[in-house]
Chains A and B, each alone.
Chain A
């Protein structure tokens, strides 16, 4: 069984390598369709320090304690090893600072001193690094920020619309409850930009429906915590008609299962266990995932800009929405990866696809 898996993977890998090998010149032809401006007022970003490849690129990550970040780091390595990318990169380093702004400042300073050409950044704070980024830009180091993006326009920012994500989850909840009932709202980590945006998006919809009652808990985007707080909320005697959750959804599903309750409609993130359960039990679900593949898109943008391409300063990557209608095994949920695995590993509209199993097992 294992050997067959290996052979299949090897064949797949060989096939895709040949395909990519055949298209080396096209790979960097035109990316304007992929680099979509965030809004009409987004300015174009032009970089004065363009130069010839190969480049030295560094990934500055903050938090390392969850599955999403681990997947993200693996995808970064996988992308850097692709033939069309590898020839543009002289040196690629990943380092993580933990959720400590001061450590990440030290880390970025270190990268500036060591003379990298571009830094791809998942920030510990949306604002705490701004002055450091400005210093990087002045020193001729390009900064591309994604996921937990920064607010300075000296960096290119790449993200999915978190507000819209929260809004669509809420629309789904309204549709399945008929606009009345008790909704369990499972939030992320307090005080973060992403949590604020998703929550505001959800609230903008719920506020229009006076018959919707919400109970808020903080699940910290973590299955264990989300399961605990959901179980607490259920144990308090409340009956929930739907769940709006920012993450930790495998845990949310487990909490309802443990209490032997009928699964309510759940709108949530892209954990594999959540999608797997929905595929099996058929409860109404909507799953929108922040793609860990955003890191590959950010590296792609960095390489484009260093080569002289002009891109929008703020780039929006579209949401990939999965509902009961388009759930598909092997495409947007997987077997052979744990429940906590985040299924959003690709950026389809930019042609950035990654193999889930390989992302889970990592490469070296």
Chain B
């Protein structure tokens, strides 16, 4: 039962485990507390960004402004945080609010403006990057060292970054997905008209899904701020498409309706670990992007060939 639920994540989980074993073989130092923490920290921002993408993808949309929201919240957090713990706490709350607001605006335009999500979020991508540049025209800012350590440090082999991710999943993601809204999100993504005739307000569901996306993007921005101890409005660019890649790799369907958090989270760690493995194996930088893409395509294709090798196509549908 539980295996069936997480079946779609299998590719990402197996991929991540195999990649980690390969990495440990090439670079044994990775098994030290420092190595584990470092690898975990590298992937956590993308894992949170993948959650932001996933909640939107589940409705059948796509959010191209995820990277811009990560960059914007990073710029806000690093610019205003200062050094005093009390102020820092207020700024963190403010940052979460700003990200949520950005997501809310996305949702408002998508749901009530009735414009294709890809166009809306492309437009807001530019708007949020622009606001980020106004907040912080050049990279800089500072954060209290306690804040950075609390998120990126470790207790032996246990990285705090991983705990932060689990807290976000436990406190925000799981309750959201178990609520009526969570079920409505999946229903809308699975079958819009079906959801509508069952009495679900499609517009309202979309609005809150994008808003939740903004919140998770802000969590990613806050973690990124701790990781880089500074703000840079253009830093988020790479998270947009990588978050889509992590979501798809994690077994969610771009058409909407299907996907659990485990897959995209493992997908995110897989993608960020892949960069390290390519560096460690000494592949020329000119081929790294090419290999990254090729590996992704091959793994996904292989997983699908295996999955589709079934006698009854109805079995495929139930996956």
Contacts and interface: CB of A to CB of B under 8 A. Distances in A.
Contacts of A151: 140, 230
Contacts of B133: 190-191
Contacts of B146: none
Nearest to B152: A131
Contact of A102 (B29, B35, B238): B238
B42 A125 contact: no
Interface of B: 27, 29-30, 34-35, 38, 42, 45-46, 78, 133, 137-141, 148, 152, 227-235, 237-238, 272, 275-276, 279-280, 282, 285-286, 289
Q: Which 3 A-B pairs have the closest CB atoms?
A: A127-B230, A96-B285, A128-B228
Given A125-B232, A131-B227, A109 B38 contact: yes
A102 B46 contact: yes
B40 to A, nearest CB: 11
Contacts, number: 98
Contacts of B232: 101, 125, 127-128, 191
A128 B285 contact: no
B272 to A, nearest CB: 7
B228 A110 contact: no
A127 B140 contact: yes
Given A95-B285, A125-B228, A128-B230, 12 more contacts: A98-B289, A105-B228, A106-B275, A107-B275, A109-B42, A127-B140, A127-B141, A128-B228, A128-B235, A139-B34, A191-B232, A191-B233
A113 interface: yes
Interface in A27-86: 61, 64
Contacts of A307: none
A153 to B, nearest CB: 13
A263 B153 CA distance: 58
A101 B230 CA distance: 12
Contacts of B233: 191
A193 interface: yes
Contact of B137 (A61, A93, A191): A191
Contact of B42 (A93, A106, A127, A139): A106
Given A127-B230, A131-B227, A110 B139 contact: no
A105 B273 CA distance: 12
A114 B139 contact: no
B48 to A, nearest CB: 13
Nearest to B230: A127
A110 B279 contact: yes
A216 interface: no
Given A64-B285, A103-B275, A193-B139, A130 B238 contact: no
A193 B133 CA distance: 12
- Report the interface size class on chain A: 20 to 34
Interface in A98-120: 98, 100-103, 105-107, 109-110, 113-114
Contact of B235 (A93, A101, A196): A101
26 contacts: A61-B285, A98-B285, A98-B289, A101-B235, A102-B42, A102-B238, A106-B42, A106-B272, A107-B279, A110-B276, A113-B35, A114-B27, A114-B280, A125-B139, A125-B228, A125-B232, A126-B138, A126-B139, A128-B139, A130-B230, A151-B140, A151-B230, A190-B133, A191-B133, A191-B139, A193-B139
B227 A105 contact: yes
A9 interface: no
Pick from A64, A103, A106, A193 the residue with the most CB of B within 10 Å.
A106
Interface string A123-137: 001111111000000
A204 interface: no
A191 B136 CA distance: 8
Nearest to A131: B229
A358 interface: no
Q: Which of B30, B227, B231, B285 has the most CB of A within 10 A?
A: B285
Given A96-B285, A100-B238, A127 B231 contact: yes
Given A113-B27, A127-B230, A193 B45 contact: no
Contact of A97 (B148, B235, B237, B285): B285
B42 A105 contact: yes
A17 B148 CA distance: 50
A96 B275 CA distance: 11
Contacts of B42: 102, 105-106, 109
A134 B261 CA distance: 33
A232 interface: no
A215 interface: no
Given A100-B238, A125-B228, A128-B235, A110 B27 contact: yes
Nearest to B75: A191
A324 interface: no
